[in-house]
Amino acid sequence: MLNYKLHVAEKVSSLLGSFEPQELAALMEYPANHDKGDLCLPCFRLSKVLGKSPKDIAEHLQATLQDEEIDQIEAVNGYLNIFLKKQRWAEALIQHIHHAGHQYGSQNVGQGRTIVIDYSSPNIAKPFHVGHLRSTVIGNALYHIHAFLGYTCVGINHLGDWGTQFGKLIVAYQQWGSKEAVNQGAIDELLHLYVKFHEEAEKDPTLEDQARAWFTRMEHGDQEALALWHWFIDISMAEFQKIYKLLGVQFDAYQGESFYNDKMAPVIQMLQENQLLEEDEGAMLVRLDAFDMAPALMLKKDGSSLYHTRDLTAAIYRAETYDFAKLIYVTDYAQNLHFQQCFKVLELMGYTWASKLEHVAFGRVSIEGGGLSTRKGNVIKLENVLELSVQKIKEVIEARNPGLPNKEEVAVQVGIGAVIFNDLSANRIKDIDFSWEDALNFDGETGPYVQYTYARTCSLLKKAQMGFGHDFLTSNVDGSYLLEKEAVAVIKMLYLFTERIEQAMVKLEPSIISRYLIDLAQAFNRFYHTCYILVEEKHVREARLALVTSVQTTLRNGLKLIGLQAPNEI
């Protein structure tokens, strides 16, 4: 597909000299107001170099720029407004989308480069909460986006499967738990025991000592302690897997914190050799005062390792194993300092690849009536959120389309999709107030709205097929029938897909895709409501159906990128 910005920029570059086409293309914009053209070049950005006024530059270009793709050029207040030939544009784009199909929007800019994504990463024996959901959903979208752009992706689940909390759990289990209760209650029971431990420890501080002792036994490879630990992992993983299955998320590796147990000693040694480690009341830490950061704690008084020790080791292991172009960590912004410290320590250790690490932080999610604190146990379980969403969507479907054959399946696709989309609907750093009404609204800026629009394209094409045969798939679309402003608006949106995916990759921001899908769906629905599609006139009908097919392909590809299914009928 022709890159119009670059195409025009090449011409402009040869007329002006002094600028590379890429440079000029980067300055060009798509005016929001269609009266200002399809592309525009703000000439004041060129004034300094050329030593001319923006007005003169724009007028000069207007007089000299000629191209077979350009219909008309205006010079207005130092802006060069370029109007493309809409018919050619529509024809070329529709053909391209038709041929590219499932690959429409993909590129190979990431060819030969690897990105490692650390995401989801829930903690064993604790519930998978809405924060982990957001990490899972953002990480999964970033995985698909990079893969679509040709990167080799490695998705890692850095499970929280080691630490003093397991000592607490063992103590609680032995004092107040039972095998039957744990087998039956699974994570709920483990959480219950964990909460009970903290309640009791307030009255009896020796429990903390016992917990520490059990964790030390784990660290020394004690069979009994490790058997219990393994059991807690199996129970938790079974629940996490249910959620991943519902979300349609997979990982290339489960390398939790315990994976690094035997890999930390050399890292500690390196820190020592680099004279980065300092003793402080028996504990070992790296001072970061010079960088205005609190110290990063590496070893506790009793010699046990910490979250930091494991992340440092994990980063080094990944650098050695995957030779990545980028390593990103998807967690909420409460961990900002942790990652800043971690990256800084790696840099101080002399690892040049430390600059390839990035913390992809996101905001908190609050759901009416539920906090995230595990200690008090007042957590809304994600599984319940997902189930409730599916249930609510089922009711909507029952009311809207009672005859739908695979209601259950579609309710899952839309119910889960609504929750995923909601997590991606705003800039990731923003906090989200989850509201059922907003997330499930078929007419709002939601997953169900986009999926419903997709289903609309499917039903239109089905009707067309039944009524007129398959002739709308022809590749000889006549773009002169797609010149209504609503049709042109759809063409423009379709065209932007590739660029938006790239932006989402550069900014590590999947909400760019969800926003795009809303814009495309809205543009399509305006077209659908203004231009009747199944008209008698064959050429008009075929052209409009070809546009519908392009929208169908693009919506499907976009939904897939952010982890949503595209049901044919809702």
CB of 193 to ligand ARG, least distance (A): 19
* Minimum distance, C-beta of residue 43 to ligand ARG, in the bound complex (Å): 47
Site for ligand ARG in 471-500 (CB under 6 A): none
Build a one-symbol-per-residue string for 328-357: x at contacts with ligand ARG by CB under 6 A, - elsewhere.
-x-x--------------------------
Which is closer to ligand ARG, CB of 311 or CB of 542? Answer: 311
Cβ distance 95 to 475 under 8 Å? yes
Q: Which is nearer to ligand ARG, 166 or 454 (CB)?
A: 166
- Beta bridge partners, 331, equal 361
List Cβ neighbours of 14 (8 Å cut-off, separation of 6 or more). none
Q: Which two tokens stand for residue 457?
A: 């394209």
Instruction: Clarify whether 356 is annotated catalytic.
Output: no
Residues numbered 387 to 416 that lie near ligand ARG (CB under 6 A) are none
Rounded-to-integer distance, Cα 329 and Cα 212, Å: 29
The residue from 86, 144, 158, 308 that contacts ligand ARG (CB under 6 A) is: 158
The total of other beta-carbon atoms located within 10 Å of residue 290's CB is 8
The footprint of ligand ARG on residues 16-35 (CB under 6 A) is none
C-beta of 357 vs 386, nearer to ligand ARG: 357
Cβ contact 484:531 at 8 Å? yes
The span from the CA of 96 to the CA of 112, in Å, is 25
Comparing CB distances to ligand ARG, the nearer of 43 and 314 is 314
Q: Which of residues 294-323 bind ligand ARG (CB under 6 A)?
A: 311, 314
Supply the minimum distance, in Å, between the C-beta of residue 221 and ligand ARG: 23
Distance CA 558, CA 562 (A): 7
State yes or no: residue 514 binds ligand ARG (CB under 6 A). no
Task: Calculate ∠ Cα 349-350-354, nearest 5°.
Answer: 90
Q: Which of 11, 86, 132, 381 is catalytic?
A: 132
Per rule CB under 6 A, count of chain residues that contact ligand ARG:
10
Angle of CA points 555, 560, 561, to nearest 5°: 100
Active-site residue identified among 5, 11, 86, 129: 129
The smaller minimum CB distance to ligand ARG, of residues 286 and 548, is found at 286
CB of 376 to ligand ARG, least distance (A): 17
Whose Cβ is closer to ligand ARG: residue 141's or residue 533's?
141
User: In the complex, what is the shortest distance from the CB of residue 370 to ligand ARG, in angstroms, rounded to a whole number?
Assistant: 17
Q: Which of 127, 155, 160, 448 binds ligand ARG (CB under 6 A)?
A: 160
CB of 565 to ligand ARG, least distance (A): 27
Say which of 5, 126, 326, 492 is annotated catalytic: 126
- C-alpha–C-alpha distance, residues 484 and 494, integer Å: 16
Q: Which is closer to ligand ARG, CB of 137 or CB of 543?
A: 137
Neighbours of 66 (CB within 10 A): 9
Rounded distance, CA 505 to CA 313, Å? 27
Q: Which residue(s) pair with 283 in the sheet?
A: 280
**CA quadruple 540, 543, 545, 549: dihedral, nearest 10:** -170
Distance (Å, whole) CA 33 – CA 76: 14
Binding map of ligand ARG across residues 95-124, x = CB under 6 A, - = no contact = -----------------------x--xxx-
Shortest reach from residue 430's CB to ligand ARG, in Å: 19
For the question of residue 381 being annotated catalytic, the response is: no
CA distance 566 to 163: 41
* Cα dihedral across residues 436, 438, 443, 448: positive or negative: negative
φ, ψ dihedrals at 122, nearest 5°: -75, 175
Q: Taking the CB of residue 504, how many other CB atoms lie within 10 A of it?
A: 25
Q: Which is nearer to ligand ARG, 13 or 136 (CB)?
A: 136
3 state DSSP class of 17: coil
Residues near 150 by beta carbon (within 8 Å), at least 6 away in sequence? 106, 107, 108, 109, 110, 111, 113
| In the complex, least distance from residue 437 CB atom to ligand ARG, rounded to whole angstroms | 29
User: In the bound complex, what is the minimum distance in angstroms from residue 315's beta carbon to ligand ARG?
Assistant: 8
Catalytic site residue 326?
no
What is each CA distance from 403 to 127, 397, 406, 570, in whole angstroms?
Answer: 37, 9, 9, 10
Residue 476, classified by CB atoms within 10 Å of its CB into exposed (0-12), middle (13-18) or buried (19+), is exposed
Q: Measured from the CB atom, is 123 or 498 closer to ligand ARG?
A: 123
Q: Report 57-96 residues binding ligand ARG (CB under 6 A).
A: none
Distance CA 388, CA 218 (A): 39
Residues annotated as part of the active site: 126, 129, 132
Footprint of ligand ARG on this chain (CB under 6 A)? 118, 121-123, 158, 160, 311, 314, 329, 331
